[in-house]
């Protein structure tokens, strides 16, 4: 079996939800000053070659994260959970499926190249501080040309930091604490088909308003251009969101999806260029929805 070279941080099965009749999605990015909209296949975007490769491992184990974890464990199971949420089939939303979807949500936050690079920077800083703070560590490099223990690591174990960051990403995805919180929240699928606009998604599609543990915490995650996954601790927060109206909810989600994107925004059509141009790459925090309150005509499906 040939090892996979394209490691998708935006899974193909997920992006297919935004495909048009030609099996293409629109990829928005800002390679230079202007945002560019480009029709692509889901297989041709949202990836980085060999992103999860463990360079310090044996040849047989280098691709274990992609082959044995991301593809079969996160994405294949996540795809089945996604279908159940879109179908709004509460009878099939078993504890195992809730666990699979919880894992997929956390993976969407920690699997991207920017997040892994950030983890590598944090790990490198801590390792350097720990090694260089103790003079006894110099014994490990006695007789070498390295000026510090960390320089010895850089020369002799060049893949240590990046491999540690990849393992740390999995550790964050498998966090028991965060996973238990999301698993036990109250889940719903919003049908926003009557909105003026369709939902967008990105390479960072998980939206969290106030972390996870506060009573008013809310998670939102676009499932496709029409359906939105929402999790809260209290149905009152869900009702407050619903009262804003479908178009206002979609605008709020899209605004924050674009502002939070690391590199790519994805849509079904190319009609969002101006909206994305005014937001992609610009700083912003997840703000409140402040529209005129009105009742949503399409009911929410509580799971």
- Label residue 130 by pLDDT band (50, 70, 90): confident
Residue pair 268/249 in contact (Cβ under 8 Å)? The answer is no
Cα separation, 45 vs 25, whole angstroms: 10
pTM, two decimal places? 0.89
Q: Which of 65-69, 146-150, 241-245 has the lowest mean pLDDT?
A: 146-150
- Write out pLDDT tens, residues 166-221: 999 999 999 999 999 999 999 999 999 999 999 999 999 999 988 889 998 999 99
> What's residue 285's pLDDT?
53
Residues whose CB is less than 8 angstroms from the CB of residue 91 and which lie 6 or more positions away in sequence, other chains included? none
- Write out pLDDT tens, residues 137-158: 666 555 566 667 777 788 888 8
């Amino acid at each position: 079996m040939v090892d996979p070279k394209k490691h998708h941080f935006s899974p193909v099965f997920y992006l297919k939800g935004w495909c048009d009749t030609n099996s293409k999605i629109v990829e928005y990015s800002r390679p230079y000053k202007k945002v560019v909209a480009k029709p692509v296949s889901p297989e041709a975007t949202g990836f980085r070659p060999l992103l999860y490769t463990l360079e310090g491992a044996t040849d047989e184990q280098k691709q274990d994260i992609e082959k044995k974890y991301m593809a079969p464990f996160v994405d294949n199971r996540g795809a089945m959970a996604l279908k159940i949420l879109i179908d709004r089939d509460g009878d099939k939303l078993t504890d195992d499926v809730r666990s699979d979807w919880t894992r997929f949500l956390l993976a969407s936050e920690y699997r991207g190249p920017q997040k892994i690079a950030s983890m590598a920077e944090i790990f490198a800083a801590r390792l350097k501080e720990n090694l260089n703070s103790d003079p006894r560590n110099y014994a490990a490099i006695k007789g070498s040309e390295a000026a510090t223990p960390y320089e010895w690591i850089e020369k002799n174990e060049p893949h240590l930091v990046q491999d540690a960051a990849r393992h740390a990403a999995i550790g964050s995805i498998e966090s028991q604490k965060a996973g238990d919180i999301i698993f036990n929240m109250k889940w719903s699928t919003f049908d926003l088909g009557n909105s003026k606009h369709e939902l967008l998604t990105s390479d960072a599609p998980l939206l969290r308003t106030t972390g996870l543990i506060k009573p008013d915490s809310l998670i939102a995650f676009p499932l496709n251009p029409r359906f939105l996954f929402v999790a809260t601790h209290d149905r009152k927060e869900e009702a407050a969101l619903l009262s804003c109206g479908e178009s206002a909810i979609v605008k709020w989600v899209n605004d924050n999806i674009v502002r939070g994107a690391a590199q790519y925004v994805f849509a079904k059509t190319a009609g969002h260029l101006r909206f994305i141009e005014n937001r992609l790459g610009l700083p912003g925090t997840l703000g409140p929805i402040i529209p005129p309150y009105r009742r949503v005509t399409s009911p929410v499906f509580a799971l």
